[in-house]
Structure 1
Amino acid sequence: MLLSLLVSAIAGGIAGHLSVSDVMNSLVGGMGGNSETALSYILLGAFAVAVNKNGLADLISKKIALMITSKKFVLIWIFVAMAVMSQNLIPVHIAFIPILVPPLLTLMNKMKLDRRSVACALAFGLKAPYIALPAGFGLIFQGLIADNMTSCGVEVKTQDIWTYTWILGVGMFVALLIAIYFSYLKSRTYQVLANAPLLENINKEDLRFNKSHYVTMLSAVVTLIVQLASGSLPLGALCGLTILFSFRAILFKNMDSLISDGIYLMGYIAFVMLVAAGFASVMKATGGVDALVNSIVPYMKGSKITATILMMVVGLFITMGIGTSFGTIPILTMLYIPICVSMSFSVPSMVIVIAAAAALGDAGSPASDTTLGPTSGLNADGQHDHIKDTCIPTFIHYNTALFIVAVLTVAILG
């Protein structure tokens, strides 16, 4: 992914009559546009590692596991809640899934719960919050949209993005209900394997909160409050980490390893963000974007609906290939804003188009965290196929919902 962006930037720059040195200068210069986003990912990665290392995530997961008996819908909605919190309240991303899900597989097998519904539940919680809620990873996603639209000449504030994109979250919620109560409602039989993780192996005597757990919960609250008050996710994450170290929930001697592990967890996607911004900068420098827009606008025949459908399809293919909606935003914004401006799209419609086109494909892409995360937990006993049981169900439900809602919204808002 990272190499393909670099090669594409160089190829596009040379095709646009730039020298190799000019391409590299533009690439490196443009990377600064996503520097705050990259820093946010690194700090959130460190925060996620801290939460896992002091055992809070494991403790909460086990407590939830012991409360579940045979109510499969309660279990599914707990998965949804945990996934949502992992994006906005305690931003640990997908790190909680390998901890929470495997001990519950035996119970799920006894319920004959179709794991495809759980995959859809987890994917919803990993995806819808960053589209619709202005906190945690949502602040990153929405900040990227605002910053890139502003750099393309359409000024919009980060705090305004969610007031437009919430409708996409509603569409995904409807798709979630369909997946749970219609598509995968019927029982499905799985083998109970001898080596499967067992709920009964949880030691109830160890399920007590200690000082470090309470400090971690406090740090999560502070992280959320600071980011909402300041609009800066890096500042919020830094304040949360400061509390963890100050109250010795994490020892100072472990600081370096914590940051290293955070970079390992989130560093790759942070570099993808940086290079994606550089790629967009190179494409702008070639001057070829205007030519591309002028060549395809006539085929849209002045129809905003046709234009929206075409932009959704392009966004789907780009995100499916890259595997990250975040890294797709700079590329799509550079291409779509001139089209939207030339066809007099309203600002809310522009935001909807960019957000939906970037998010399309994230659910369903084999290379996306939205699908890799659920599979990492559900396939702990080898009975859950990544493509058939995670990618295809999430692709069908959420990409269809995003596509329909985006087109209908543009039809209404203009």
Structure 2
Amino acid sequence: MASAVIISVLILTVLSLFKVNVLVAIIISALSAGFIAGLPFVEIVEVFVSNMGESANTALSYVLLGGFAAAIGMTGVTKGIVQFLRRAVTGKRGFMLITIAIIASLSQNAVPVHIAFIPILIPPLISLFDKMQIDRRAIATSLTFGLKAPYIMLPVGFGLIFQGIIQENMIENGIEISLSEVTQAMLVPGLGMVVGLLIAIFITYRKKRDYSQVTPEGPSADYEEIDDSPFKFELKHSMTLVAIVGALYVQVDTESMVLGALTGLVLMFVLVAVPFRSSEEVMSKGISMMGMIAFIMLAAAGFAGVLKETGSVEALVDASSGMLEGQKAIVALVLLLVGLIVTLGIGTSFGTIPILAALYIPIATAAGFSPVAIAVLIGTAGALGDAGSPASDSTLGPTAGLNVDGKHNHIWDTVVPTFIHFNIPLFIFGWAAALML
């Protein structure tokens, strides 16, 4: 049974490295897991399809967030941001990349549009990136850092949801822990990501890269260049800010991305920041930007359902930890490695926490780990599924913005760099934190 999860994730990884479409690769991997576990073909398909509903809320939220981001873009406020960046950071490569990481971080907390801002903000900056000859792998790591590090370390916005899931599932499995203790637990692994970002920006990808010499792998996407006419702050921009604040408030209060995005969209039309007659265009753009990512997340949930049905995850944990009783350092290492294998295939941090918590807590408790250390193990193992996974929104989003001209490969230019610079330090720092706390 344990081999089903390992082989299926290896299949997903190999297919992705050979540039097979991620959605197709996930479906093939899910079928492989089911076949290896001995499930009939019809049952595999039924389990896969039925479990896709587990991510229906996420998929819907991405489409609505795409619409919200498209509406924000139609107001022209993006033009002001891009013009500011062009004036402020031209020629300042390091400052540009740090600024992008900060903007991406704000999308998780202050302006809750998640990855939906990327297809609107990044494409108009491509010409500037190419003029400065910035390696887009550095931009991808900056974006992924901003999409991931804030929810790992900060109990605000998406971070409040993520850390809340860890706390709730630990309590459900018999371990009392406060939200502040979960935050304390996740600070050390999060610092590993900071180290990885600095290494990527100032060491690994510091050399210039001439994209005029890169052969496009596909057709250029249709996007609008920002014009150079002076930006004027108007009433509709004020109304846009009101809509953003409203979306943030509702999302934090209800812990629902769907309600937050829907609130933002409704306010954009009610406050006439965007004319109601443009609603069709807004949603069409939103679906265009986020539709594929939404389907990939649905397929990833189906894949997770097949793995759960086969019992391969439980078998892998039992097989890995059964022989290591009393060896805390090795137990922590194995649990994180198992988490990496599982979440790499599924590509979601939030969705795997309940699975990992139920499996990890009995083992970690028996090994003598403290509640905070167990929170580190669960949170880090879950977070390992975001960066470096072909099916993660934290890698799909950056690719959607950087590959508008067909010169940025999802696997080799986003997934591999983010795996190296974030998953490796996250693994090391998480392992060390589990032993120290």
* TM-score category, normalised to shorter length: 0.7 to 0.9
Give, in angstroms, the shift of residue 153 of structure 1: 3.3
Residue 199 of structure 2: aligned partner = 178
| 1:56 alignment partner in structure 2 | 77
Aligned to 1:368: 392
Shift of 1:306: 0.9
Cα distance in structure 2, aligned partners of 1:269 and 1:145: 24
Unaligned 5+ segments in structure 1 are none
Partner residue, 1:331: 355
Match of 1:342 among 354, 360, 366: 366
Q: 1-side partners of 2:29 and 2:167: how far apart?
A: 22
Cα separation, 1, equivalents of 2:368 and 2:173:
15
Over aligned residue pairs, what C-alpha RMSD do you find?
4.2
More off after superposition, 35-44 vs 383-392 = 35-44
Residue aligning to 1:316: 340
Work out whether residues 119 and 400 of structure 2, in 8 Å CA contact, stay in contact via their aligned partners in 1: yes
Deviation (angstroms), 1:359 = 1.7
Q: Does the residue aligned with 2:427 lie in a helix, a strand or coil?
A: helix
Percent identity of equivalent pairs: 43
Q: 1:70 and 2:94 equivalent?
A: no
Instruction: Name the count of aligned residue pairs.
Output: 402
Q: Is the counterpart of residue 79 in structure 1 residue 100 in structure 2?
A: yes
Alpha-carbon distance, 1:79 to partner: 1.2
Query: Which letter maps to 1:340?
Result: A
Q: 1 CA distance for matches of 2:55 and 2:117? A: 27
Q: Answer yes or no: is the 8 Å Cα contact 2:86–2:128 preserved in 1.
A: no
Cα distance in 1 for partners of 2:401, 2:315 equals 47
User: Which is further off, 72-81 or 104-113?
Assistant: 104-113
Residue of structure 1 equivalent to 2:11: none
Is the CA contact 1:127–1:370 (under 8 Å) kept in the aligned structure 2?
yes
The DSSP-based 3-state class of the residue aligned with 2:376 is helix
> What residue ranges of structure 2 are gaps of 5+ in the alignment?
1-22
The 2-side partners of 1:10 and 1:53 are apart by 45
Q: Specify the alignment match of 1:118 in structure 2.
A: 139
Q: How big is the shift at 1:257?
A: 7.6
Q: Which residue of 1 aligns with 2:114?
A: 93
More off after superposition, 388-397 vs 274-283: 274-283
Of 141, 144, 148, the residue aligned with 2:165 is 144
Change beyond 3 A, Cα 1:315–1:257? farther
| Cα deviation code 1:71-104 (max 9, x no counterpart) | 1122112211221122222222233333333333
* In 2: Cα distance, 1:269 partner to 1:381 partner: 22
Letter in 2 for 1:350: I
Match of 1:356 in 2: 380
Q: Secondary structure at the match of 1:191?
A: helix
CA distance in 2, matches of 1:144, 1:12: 31
Q: 1:300 & 1:292 partners in 2: Cα distance?
A: 13
Using the TM superposition, give the Cα deviation of residue 180 of structure 1 relative to its aligned residue in structure 2, in angstroms. Answer: 1.3
Alpha-carbon offset, residue 399 of structure 1: 0.9
Q: Is the 8 A contact 1:48 1:93 kept in 2?
A: no
TM-score (norm 2): 0.74
Question: Partners of 2:147 and 2:107 in 1: how far apart?
Answer: 8
Cα distance, 1:408 vs structure 2: 0.6
Worse-superposed segment, 267-276 or 368-377 = 267-276
